[in-house]
């Protein structure tokens, strides 16, 4: 965009301190960003109708860094931020539609909010999309008339977006191709596109206007586009500006070139590009591909948009690494990746999720790029030792601790209507400590080195 608030260098510096943000910082009004004195107290309409199924909208998660207990934008109430810093980072994109959402008129009966990307528009538009269910148990039927009077949604394919690989977060499960047998949880975004040959590639002006560096992207979408939210029970719901960010970030998977400056934004502490390792998914391994492949960071430019996910397990084993998912391939593949899932297990004994990987690193992971957090080269041998120990040795110990905790809980509930929860927590803490005492670098090198 032409009016980006920060240079690439400034954004890199801002990204480096995201981990130290104060989640209680007050998020200010977009009018403060514009130095305006207009009233910003208007809020968007209530989101769902009575017919909308309940689902986890995660409205309190920061749109930029995923920090919990974030606060809604005071004008549009459609995206949340944990701090002024994160709000400023999102602002160049957010401001395109913030006022439009805040000032949208009354909701027509039987309609949901969508985001429309007209081919010749200067920016996207907030629209009302008609939605109805033709038969009980059937999917939602959408309708939106284009300026020429034709229905946009006539037999259109759509792209499903249920994870944001740039922000390392998962919004839903069971929506993506290959996971249709799973029960839908959370939400996803459906990006409908009239991908007709009459439109040249990258010809949608309103969509291109949302990209900070449009000349660096090549994506398969052409023609007008509309984004809506998919939710459980084959239904749809309002798009939010947090989901708007997910749509634009999703285009990172189609990035085909990247300038050297973008790669240098990665704070590796070295002037050269360190080498990392590609951890292949189950599908690639089953067809004979190597499980671990040495790759230069210069060959994976899409990681420059994110700090990745730090593996607590690897850090405990003395070789802290960060993980990034590879873009989703255009072919069907078993995207399971046991190595990555086990590397991302929670090891903080005080957390209820101890022993489990977060949703984003649990299902449909695909190929993963691993890089040392200290900026040094990561060898194939190092990652092989690490992954083998984690999957073959550490995981059974963690699983045993979880089983013991479950058994202790069941026994406590059977023997007393009001069990001593403090005593039960002490037992579970002891099981976890026993497992953590085993997960050491010394044991890893002794067993697998």
Contact 427, 304 (CB under 8 A): no
Domain boundary residue, one of 241, 257, 273: 257
pLDDT, position 195: 62
Residue 233's SS3 state is coil
Domain carrying residue 39: 8-257
Tell whether 277 and 245 lie within a shared domain: no
Measured CA to CA in angstroms, residue 269 lies from 16, 194, 272, 365, 407 at distances of 12, 45, 9, 28, 47
**Quick one: 175 and 269 in the same domain?**
no
| Claim to verify: residue 202 and residue 277 sit in the same structural domain | no
pLDDT of residue 196: 60
> Quick one: residue 97, left, alpha or beta (phi over 0 = left, psi -120 to 50 = alpha)?
alpha
Distance, in Å, from the CA atom of 121 to the CA atom of 225, rounded to the nearest integer, reads 12
Residues 228 and 142 in one domain: yes
Whether residue 71 is contained in a domain is answered as yes
How many CB atoms within 10 Å of residue 32? Answer: 14
Statement to judge: residues 75 and 131 lie in one domain: yes
Question: Tens of pLDDT along the chain (449 residues)?
Answer: 444 444 445 444 444 444 343 334 445 556 666 543 333 333 332 333 334 444 455 667 899 888 888 999 999 999 999 999 889 989 999 999 999 999 998 999 889 999 999 988 999 999 999 888 766 656 678 888 877 777 887 666 677 888 887 787 888 877 765 444 456 778 889 888 876 655 555 678 888 888 766 554 555 666 888 999 988 877 888 999 999 999 988 875 554 333 333 333 333 334 468 999 999 999 899 988 999 999 998 888 767 656 788 899 999 999 999 998 887 665 567 888 999 999 999 898 888 889 988 878 887 788 999 999 888 999 999 999 999 999 999 999 999 999 999 998 888 888 887 888 888 888 999 999 999 999 999 999 999 98
In a domain, residue 1? The reply is: no
| pLDDT for residue 417 | 77
Contact call for residues 81 and 62 (beta carbons, < 8 A)? yes
Among the candidates 199, 224, 257, a domain finishes at 257
Query: 429 and 405, same structural domain?
Result: yes
419 and 290 together in one domain: no
Same domain, 295 and 226: no
Question: How is residue 416 written in tokens?
Answer: 């007393």
Q: Positive or negative CA dihedral for 357, 360, 366, 371?
A: negative
CA distance 78 to 245: 11
Query: What is the arrangement of strands in the sheet containing 292-296, beginning at the earlier edge strand?
Result: 292-296, 275-279, 368-372, 321-325, 309-310
Q: How far apart are CA 299 and CA 302, in angstroms?
A: 9
Cβ(292)–Cβ(275) under 8 Å? no
With contact defined as beta carbons under 8 Å apart, do 115 and 127 qualify? yes
Q: 207 and 276: one domain?
A: no
Report if residue 291 sits inside a domain. Answer: yes
Q: Are 42 and 130 in the same domain?
A: yes
Sign, Cα dihedral of 344, 349, 350, 354: positive
Decide which of 337, 365, 381 is a domain's last residue.
381
Whether residue 3 lies inside any domain: the answer is no
Q: Are residue 253 and residue 270 in the same domain, yes or no?
A: no
pLDDT computed for residue 268 by the predictor: 39
166 Rama class: left (phi>0) / alpha (psi -120 to 50) / beta: alpha
Q: Is residue 2 part of a domain?
A: no
> What residues are paired with 226 via a beta bridge?
116, 192
- Total domains present in the chain: 3
Work out the angle at residue 334's Cα, subtended by the Cα atoms of residues 225 and 389, and round it to the nearest 5 degrees.
Answer: 125
Do 209 and 103 share a structural domain?
Answer: yes
Q: How far is CA 147 from CA 70, 118, 144, in A?
A: 39, 10, 10
What kind and span of H or E run contains 192? Answer: strand 188-193
């Amino acid at each position: 965009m032409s009016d980006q608030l920060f240079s690439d260098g400034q954004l890199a510096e801002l990204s480096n301190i995201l981990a130290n943000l104060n989640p209680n910082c007050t998020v200010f009004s977009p009018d403060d960003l514009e130095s305006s004195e207009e009233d910003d107290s208007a809020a968007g309409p209530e989101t769902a109708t009575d017919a909308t199924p309940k689902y986890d909208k995660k409205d309190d998660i920061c749109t930029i860094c995923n920090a919990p207990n974030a606060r809604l934008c005071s004008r549009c109430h459609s995206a949340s931020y944990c701090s002024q810093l994160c709000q400023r980072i999102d602002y160049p994109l957010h401001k395109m539609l913030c006022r439009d959402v805040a000032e949208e008129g009354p909701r027509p009966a039987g309609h949901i909010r969508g985001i429309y990307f007209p081919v010749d528009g200067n920016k996207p538009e907030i629209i009302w999309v008609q939605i109805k269910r033709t038969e009980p148990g059937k999917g939602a039927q959408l309708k939106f008339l284009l300026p020429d009077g034709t229905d946009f949604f006539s037999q259109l394919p759509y792209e499903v977006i249920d994870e944001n690989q740039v922000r390392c977060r998962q919004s839903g499960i069971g929506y993506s191709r290959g996971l249709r047998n799973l029960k839908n949880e959370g939400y996803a975004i459906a990006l409908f596109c009239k991908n007709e040959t009459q439109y040249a590639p990258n010809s949608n002006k309103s969509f291109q206007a949302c990209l900070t560096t449009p000349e660096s992207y090549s994506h398969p979408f052409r023609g007008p586009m509309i984004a809506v939210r998919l939710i459980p029970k084959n239904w749809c719901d309002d798009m939010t500006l947090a989901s708007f960010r997910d749509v634009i970030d999703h285009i990172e998977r189609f990035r085909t070139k990247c300038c050297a400056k973008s790669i240098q934004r990665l704070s590796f502490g070295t002037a050269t590009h360190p080498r990392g390792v590609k951890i292949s998914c189950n599908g690639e391994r089953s067809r004979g591909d190597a499980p671990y492949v040495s790759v230069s960071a210069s060959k994976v430019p899409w990681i420059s948009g994110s700090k990745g996910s730090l593996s607590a397990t690897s850090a405990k084993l003395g070789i802290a690494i960060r993980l990034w998912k590879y873009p989703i391939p255009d072919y069907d593949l078993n995207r399971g990746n046991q190595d990555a899932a086990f590397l991302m297990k929670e090891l903080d004994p005080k957390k209820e999720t101890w022993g489990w990987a977060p949703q984003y690193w649990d299902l449909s992971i695909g190929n993963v790029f691993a890089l040392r957090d200290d900026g040094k080269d990561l060898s194939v041998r190092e990652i092989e030792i690490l992954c083998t120990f984690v999957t073959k040795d550490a995981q059974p110990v963690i699983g045993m601790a979880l089983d013991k905790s479950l058994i202790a809980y069941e026994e406590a509930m059977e023997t007393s209507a009001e069990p001593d929860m403090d005593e039960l927590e002490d037992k579970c803490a002891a099981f976890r400590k026993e497992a953590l005492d085993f997960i050491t670098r010394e044991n890893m090198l002794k067993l697998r080195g």
